[in-house]
């Protein structure tokens, strides 16, 4: 018979794995990241934003732009609408990056204090 502590440890490990997968899908509500094709002029970008009920929020270092969703449209619906336009190279949620600290991180021995940082990001994040 296994000791009860093994069952508890297995249960906690399963919860941690599930929580890690669940939090990896977090994104900023009401905001998407879009990258227009290089040849898309400002007037075309404005038309795309008007048709998809979005507005300019910020320019990102990658050349992409953060857009705010107007009204009650969801992030997945807005992304689907943006992807229908030929001048949109890609559209993704504004994923939230999560830092994970663990003593068995590969950077453990190389980092002062012994702790390493590992980033898990679904897409570029501006926050």
Average pLDDT value for the chain: 78
Q: Is residue 6 part of a domain?
A: no
User: Does 74 have pLDDT greater than 70?
Assistant: yes
Domain that residue 57 falls in: 28-95
Q: Is residue 15 part of a domain?
A: no
Enter the tokens of residue 38. Answer: 């290089």
* pLDDT over 70, % of the chain: 58
Q: Is residue 123 part of a domain?
A: no
Contact 40, 33 (CB under 8 A): no
Contact 16, 74 (CB under 8 A): no
- Listed range (41-45, 93-97, 99-103) with the worst mean pLDDT: 99-103
User: Does 89 have pLDDT greater than 80?
Assistant: yes
- Name the burial class of residue 68, with classes exposed (0-12), middle (13-18) and buried (19+) by CB atoms within 10 angstroms of its CB: middle
Q: Is residue 22 part of a domain?
A: no
Q: Which residues pair with 119 in a beta bridge?
A: 99
User: Does 30 have pLDDT greater than 90?
Assistant: yes
């Amino acid at each position: 018979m296994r000791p009860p502590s093994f069952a508890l440890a297995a249960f906690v490990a399963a919860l941690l794995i599930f929580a890690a997968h669940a939090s990896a899908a977090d994104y900023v509500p009401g905001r998407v990241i879009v990258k227009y094709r290089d040849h898309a002029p400002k007037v075309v970008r404005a038309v795309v934003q008007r048709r998809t009920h979005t507005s300019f929020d910020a320019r990102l270092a990658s050349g992409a732009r953060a857009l705010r969703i107007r009204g009650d449209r969801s992030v997945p619906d807005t992304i689907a609408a943006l992807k229908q336009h030929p001048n949109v190279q890609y559209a993704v949620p504004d994923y939230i990056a999560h830092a994970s600290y663990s003593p068995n991180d590969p950077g453990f021995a190389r980092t002062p204090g012994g702790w390493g940082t590992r980033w898990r990001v679904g897409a570029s994040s501006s926050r």
